[in-house]
Amino acid sequence: MNDLLAYFKIHDTADLIWLGLGVVAQLMFSLRFIIQWLVSEKQKRSVIPAAFWWFSVIGGIMLLAYGIHRGEPIIMLGQGLGIVVYIRNLMLLHQGRKTDLPSETKS
């Protein structure tokens, strides 16, 4: 067991907590694909719901924090740039909702 902990550079409780955060972050980030798939299957067409972008932002921030803690420049670069894209997509969704005209109803 000690060899496994050493392999993952876990030397104390704080390292173990950070590893747990990294695992949860990756699961959060991966759930966005499952959500996108389920929504698309339900609508019988390819759809990217707002939840996809929210899971991207939350998972991305968590992974960025993990990357910073671990000193992993590849994770920091990838997630840092990705978060900008995810937030911009949420902004575009929000702007689109504000500019959509209410649908007309026939009486």
**Is 11 within the bounds of a domain?**
no
**Is 74 within the bounds of a domain?**
yes
SS3 100: coil
**Is 3 within the bounds of a domain?**
no
No. of helices (H) and no. of strands (E), the chain: 4, 0
Identify which of 21, 32, 27 has the alpha carbon closest to the alpha carbon of residue 66.
21
pTM equals 0.77
Structural domain harbouring 28: 18-99
User: What is the per-residue pLDDT for 9?
Assistant: 82
Task: Please count the residues of the chain.
Answer: 107
- Reply yes or no on whether the pLDDT at 90 is more than 60: yes
**Is 55 within the bounds of a domain?**
yes
Number of separate domains in the chain = 1
**Is 62 within the bounds of a domain?**
yes
**Is 49 within the bounds of a domain?**
yes
User: What is the per-residue pLDDT for 107?
Assistant: 47
**Is 1 within the bounds of a domain?**
no
Identify which of 45, 27, 44, 47 has the alpha carbon closest to the alpha carbon of residue 36.
47
Average pLDDT over residues 23-41: 92
**Is 106 within the bounds of a domain?**
no
